[in-house]
């Protein structure tokens, strides 16, 4: 059996759950790890908000025992503030600290954080150096291909981060200007992998076991990161793991009933961790993924936008099941 490590931290498999704000909370991370994700990351946490003692940011960093290994991701553009954020994050005993250098959202990047850091490679190096100095766990970095097509510098930034002490780099093979538009440039991920000697995690549009296999062969990366394709489909982790260990083994696809049971368990866990009101508001987006491909999905999606109590979700599950049986 192969083992995969980052700075000495052992991963449970080679497929990592992507950090996703509004999605990858404690409940989601537990779920995906239980389905075969090898490592997970928190939603991004603002270093500046932490310096103002934001309770919400502190809560984002809570990690339950069932979600290990787990990294906490922080963002910001001031090296010392980022180092202090790392110190606070470490109180939750994460296995890794991750630095966000890829977020394209204007509210993050217009402040010089997230993907905007890639426009200033020297600052990227300073931030990594200070965070590494403040941390007693490995520090990883998540970057994009570059800011735009005229400034593709993932290789340069990755080398600077490695030099400054980073233990792994995730590369999302799109520029900031692309946001999430296709295509993903796997060639740039390969170039980064060839340029550094720390592990590189390939990310972007990995949505099936077969695609995972292709990305490994195109990039040469041993580690992969999956984000959106896991929404409503945590089975993608076990499918990728199974396919990579034996492509001839038939892949397991869940029935509609099983999907809906997992959906209920997921949202119930959210209720436990953050209260029913907040959990159900966030669940409106999340449950849509579980309905994908189901009979009557369009109408279920519509109704998902109105759920506000856990009973509403139970009723929606029953409707989904009857729709499946009616066909
Ligand atoms: C809803 C959402 C929230 C995200 N939040 C974060 C985040 O907090 N930190 C981060 O580094 N990337 C974030 N991302 C980017 C993902 O981690 C990932 O790089 C991107 O979705 C591409 O991977 P995928 O094609 O497998 O989804 C987010 C993406 C989505 C869709």
Q: Measured in whole angstroms, how far is the alpha carbon of residue 233 from the centre of its chain?
A: 14
Task: Answer whether 47's CB lies under 8 Å from 81's CB.
Answer: yes
Nearest atom of ligand 1 to the alpha carbon of 43: 8
* Measured distance CA(164)–CA(127) in Å, rounded: 9
Determine the distance separating the centroid of ligand 1 and the alpha carbon of 23, expressed in angstroms.
9
Say what the pLDDT of residue 128 is: 98
pTM: 0.97
Query: What pLDDT is recorded for position 279?
Result: 98
At residue 237, the pLDDT reads: 98
Ligand 1, from 29, 117, 227, 231: best to mutate by most atoms within 8 Å of Cβ?
Answer: 227
Please tell me the distance between residue 170's alpha carbon and the centre of ligand 1 in angstroms.
11
Three-class SS of 68-127: CCEEEEEECCCHHHHHHHHHHHHCCCCCEEEEEECCCCHHHHCCCCHHHHHHCHHHHHHH
CA-CA distances (angstroms) from residue 229 to 1, 18, 46, 289?
A: 26, 10, 25, 9
Most informative mutation of 15, 16, 17, 18 for ligand 1 (most atoms within 8 A of CB)? 18
User: How many residues are given for the chain?
Assistant: 327
Domains present along the chain, CATH in parentheses: 4-245 (3.20.20.70), 256-326 (1.10.1200.80)
**Closest residue by CA, ligand 1 atom 6:** 20
Structure token digits, residue 283? 């669940």
**How many angstroms does the Cα of residue 248 sit away from the middle of ligand 1?**
31
* Protein residue with its CA nearest to atom 10 in ligand 1: 19
How many Å lie between the centroid of ligand 1 and the Cα of residue 239? 21
Q: Which residues are catalytic?
A: 103
pLDDT confidence of residue 9: 98
| Residue 323 CA to ligand 1 centre (angstroms) | 32
To test the pocket of ligand 1, the residue of 20, 118, 221 to mutate (highest count of ligand atoms within 8 Å of its CB) is 20
Taking CA atoms only, the protein residue closest to ligand 1 atom 31 is 228
Q: What is the pLDDT of residue 323?
A: 84
Reading the block at residue 71, the tokens are 């990294």
Residues with pLDDT less than 50, the chain: none
Q: What percent of the chain has pLDDT over 90?
A: 96
Of all protein residues, the one whose alpha carbon is nearest to atom 15 of ligand 1 is 20
Which atom number of ligand 1 is nearest to the Cα of residue 226?
Answer: 26
Query: What residues line ligand 1, using a CB cutoff of 6 Å?
Result: 18-23, 43-44, 73, 100, 102-103, 142, 172, 203-206, 226-229
pLDDT of 325 reads: 82
Each residue's pLDDT tens digit, 52-78: 999 999 999 999 999 999 999 999 999
The predicted pLDDT at position 327 comes to 65
177 C-alpha to ligand 1 centroid (Å): 15
């Amino acid at each position: 059996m192969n083992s995969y490590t980052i700075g000495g931290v052992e991963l449970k498999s080679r497929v990592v759950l992507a950090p996703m704000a509004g999605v990858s909370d404690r409940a989601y991370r537990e779920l995906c790890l239980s389905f075969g994700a090898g490592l997970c990351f928190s939603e991004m946490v603002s270093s500046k908000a932490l310096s103002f003692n934001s309770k919400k940011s502190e809560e984002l960093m809570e990690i339950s025992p069932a979600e290990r290994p787990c990294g906490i991701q922080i963002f910001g553009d001031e090296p010392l503030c980022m180092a202090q954020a790392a110190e606070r994050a470490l109180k939750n005993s994460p296995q890794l600290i991750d630095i966000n250098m890829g977020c394209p959202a204007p509210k993050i990047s217009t402040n010089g954080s997230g993907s905007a850091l890639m426009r200033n490679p020297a600052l990227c190096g300073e931030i990594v150096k200070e965070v590494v100095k403040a941390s007693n766990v490995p520090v990883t970095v998540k970057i994009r291909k570059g800011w735009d097509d005229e400034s593709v510098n993932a290789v340069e930034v990755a080398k600077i981060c490695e030099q400054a002490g980073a233990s792994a780099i995730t590369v999302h093979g799109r520029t900031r200007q692309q946001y999430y538009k296709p295509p993903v440039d796997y060639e740039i991920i390969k170039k980064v992998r060839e340029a550094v000697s720390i592990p590189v995690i390939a990310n972007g549009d990995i949505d099936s076991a077969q695609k995972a296999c292709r990305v490994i062969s195109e990039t040469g990366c041993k580690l992969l990161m999956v984000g959106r394709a896991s929404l409503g489909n945590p089975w993608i982790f076990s499918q990728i793991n199974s396919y990579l260990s034996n492509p001839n083994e038939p892949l397991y696809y869940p029935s509609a009933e099983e999907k809906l049971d997992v959906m209920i368990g997921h949202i119930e866990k959210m209720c436990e961790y953050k209260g029913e009101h907040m959990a159900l508001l966030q669940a409106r987006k999340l449950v849509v993924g579980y309905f994908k491909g189901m009979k009557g999905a369009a109408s279920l999606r519509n109704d998902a936008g109105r759920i506000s109590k856990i009973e509403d979700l139970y009723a929606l599950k029953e409707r989904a099941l009857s729709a499946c049986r009616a066909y």
